Amino acid sequence: MRKIYVFDTTLRDGEQSPGVNLNTKEKVEIGLQLEKLGVDRIEAGFPAASPGDLEAVNAVARAVKNATIIGLARSREQDIDAVKEALKGAQDPCVHLFLATSPIHRKHKLRMEKEQVLETAEKAIRYAKQYFDKVEFSPEDAGRTELDFLCEVTAMAIRAGATVVNIPDTVGYMNPSEFGHIFKTLKSEVPGIEKIQLSAHCHDDLGMATANALAAILNGADQIEGTINGIGERAGNTAIEEVAMALATRADFFQANTSLTLSEIAKTSRLVSKLTGMVVPGNKAIVGANAFAHESGIHQDGMLKEKTTYEIISPDIIGLKESKLVLGKHSGRHAFREKLIDLGYELSDESVNQAFAKFKDLADKKKDVSDEDIRALLEEKLIDTPE
């Protein structure tokens, strides 16, 4: 089984979610939880962005011992110096340099020709190598970069000493087949590619961040970058928990896995949601409130007979106690009877039938029927309700 390295950027790209601002204490709390989750690398922030972020990255670097701590830098000496300062005290520091390479970014943002891009990036990587053993380089907007130029940039980064080359789909424009093709081409065309790790960094603008990350893995990526709950710029980044669970659940297909402690996923998700204020949608894969909830009678009946009929992941794997059978208008008698037993009611078949009819009337008027609603129903003179 091939190991896929997990690079968590919740504290950097995740913090770039509009409205999110984490203070030093919050970053350290999340960093320590990410360490428990077992991510390999933590991008703690962008030290040149503000003195507060530099301080926060430094605090994470000092607190977290069992992960590589990374600071982001533009391809400029003063940004690299800021990362150097921020990562003082880190056991395993790494700088993450980026420079845009796509024609749109070269023309409108950087106003640079290809040659200048190559020179600027090479100079920055060589400068960083004086201070860091580990240097990651990202050709920003790699997804929209000409593939032959991307090969040239990657070869330059390897020669200059980068240890990881990360391929960002900065604007979430790729689809799995195109993104996979980039990795396949880099792997086969770039001299020296076997000396470095190739990484995938996807955004979710078209809802394909997880699929694109998995396509990269199938085509040779060694590392995936993402955030907890998929938070991040605009529509967000690849959700780490989704990739980890896709690999763990379908190891037969991917022949690759992360080394995350999967039972820490639910806790990590809750902490990130609480501290960022970004609510996890109920239907979000793996960590949404409904991810292990079943409402329809047919599904509930199946679940009560054998859980694997409707669950491909057991909730305890991600650290949740159990799946939920939610009572609503699609629920059936089997789940209703189980709920009565759970609530301490031992009713005759006749009383169950009466109560079930009342429950269906109520469920037509209400989205979810709560335990309190059911108790109230039973207080309405059923034959053998408990005293």
Residues of the shown chain interacting with ligand KIV in the complex, contacts defined by CB under 6 A: 13, 98, 138, 140, 166, 168, 170, 201, 203
The answer to whether the annotation marks 203 as part of a ligand binding site is: yes
DSSP string, 105-160: IIIIII---HHHHHHHHHHHHHHHHTT-SEEEEEEETGGGS-HHHHHHHHHHHHHH
Residue type, 377: L
What's the closest the beta carbon of residue 225 comes to Zn ion, in angstroms? 8
Indicate which of Zn ion, ligand KIV, none lies near residue 227 (CB less than 5 to 8 Å, by partner kind): none
The answer to whether the annotation marks 237 as part of a ligand binding site is: yes
Question: Which of 8, 13, 29, 204 touches Zn ion (CB under 5 A)?
Answer: 13
Q: How far is 374 from 4, CA to CA, in rounded Å?
A: 47
What's the closest the beta carbon of residue 255 comes to ligand KIV, in angstroms? 27
What's the closest the beta carbon of residue 232 comes to Zn ion, in angstroms? 6
Q: Tokens for 366? A: 């209400």
140 binds Zn ion (CB under 5 A): no
Task: Decide whether 162 or 363 has the Cβ nearer to Zn ion.
Answer: 162
Indicate which of Zn ion, ligand KIV, none lies near residue 331 (CB less than 5 to 8 Å, by partner kind): none
Coil/strand/helix, residue 12:
coil
Q: How far is 78 from 327, CA to CA, in rounded Å?
A: 59
Task: Decide whether 138 or 212 has the Cβ nearer to ligand KIV.
Answer: 138
What's the closest the beta carbon of residue 355 comes to ligand KIV, in angstroms? 55
Indicate which of Zn ion, ligand KIV, none lies near residue 98 (CB less than 5 to 8 Å, by partner kind): ligand KIV
Query: Residue 173: CB partners within 8 Å, gap ≥ 6?
Result: 143, 144, 205, 206
What's the closest the beta carbon of residue 203 comes to ligand KIV, in angstroms? 6
Which parts of the chain fold into alpha helices (H)?
A: 24-37, 51-63, 77-86, 103-104, 114-129, 147-160, 176-189, 209-218, 240-249, 251-254, 265-276, 297-305, 333-342, 349-365, 371-379
By residue count, the chain amounts to 387
CA 38 to chain centre: 13
Task: Decide whether 203 or 299 has the Cβ nearer to ligand KIV.
Answer: 203
Binding site, residues? 13, 201, 203, 237
Binding site for Mn(2+), residues? 13, 201, 203, 237
Which residues of the chain form contacts with Zn ion (CB under 5 A)? 13
